[in-house]
């Protein structure tokens, strides 16, 4: 069942990339400072240090939402536009082309309170997988993002 969802998300991601002129609203400009507490841990050498757009999906509630993840500068930001949640990502761990972040929301914390950890995995030069987890480590949502 998850394989079918990944296929659907991949197709949606490809459709998003084909719509070059259509972009979701920009991430909030609130002043924040997101940095990794781990010395030497950064995204400088990774292919996904870019601004990504996509869709997230939560199977248990049959819900989906637009999202934007901006890793293009030192203040890593996340935006779940349909849920009106905006916040920062703090890099916690790197494993090859997989990065794990903690999330801290400064807008919309009630709507996004279950999603405390995010992992991003490079698929290819233009797409990444997204997974979010709750405090107990249970997966709460999946998604696909493209450039």
| Window from 22-31, 38-47, 73-82 with minimum mean pLDDT | 22-31
CA separation for the pair 63, 60 (Å, rounded): 8
Cα end-to-end distance, the chain, whole Å: 26
Inside any domain, residue 24:
no
Domain range for 82 = 2-13+54-146
Q: Is position 36 within any domain? A: no
27 falls within a domain: no
Query: How many structural domains compose the chain?
Result: 1
User: For position 42, what pLDDT does the model report?
Assistant: 59
Q: Is residue 47 part of a domain?
A: no
25 assigned to some structural domain: no
82 part of a folded domain: yes
Element (H, E) at 70: strand 63-70
The yes-or-no verdict on residue 41 having pLDDT over 80 is: no
Predicted confidence band of residue 119 (pLDDT cuts 50, 70, 90): very high
Residue 37 DSSP label: S
Question: Model's pTM, two decimal places?
Answer: 0.72
Domain presence at residue 6: yes
What is the model's pLDDT at position 72? 87
């Amino acid at each position: 069942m998850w394989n079918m969802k990944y296929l659907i998300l991949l197709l949606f991601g490809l459709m998003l990339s084909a719509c070059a002129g259509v972009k979701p609203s920009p991430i909030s400009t609130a002043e924040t400072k997101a940095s990794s507490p781990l010395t030497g841990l950064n995204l400088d050498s990774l292919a996904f240090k870019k601004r990504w757009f996509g869709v997230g999906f939560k199977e248990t509630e049959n819900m989906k939402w637009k999202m934007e993840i901006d890793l293009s500068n030192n203040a890593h930001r996340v935006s779940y536009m349909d849920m009106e949640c905006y916040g920062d990502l703090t890099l916690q761990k790197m494993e090859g082309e997989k990065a794990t972040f903690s999330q801290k929301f400064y807008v919309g914390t009630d709507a996004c309170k279950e999603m405390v950890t995010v992992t991003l995995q490079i698929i290819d030069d233009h797409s990444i997988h997204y997974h979010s987890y709750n405090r107990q480590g249970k997966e709460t949502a999946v998604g696909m993002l493209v450039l």
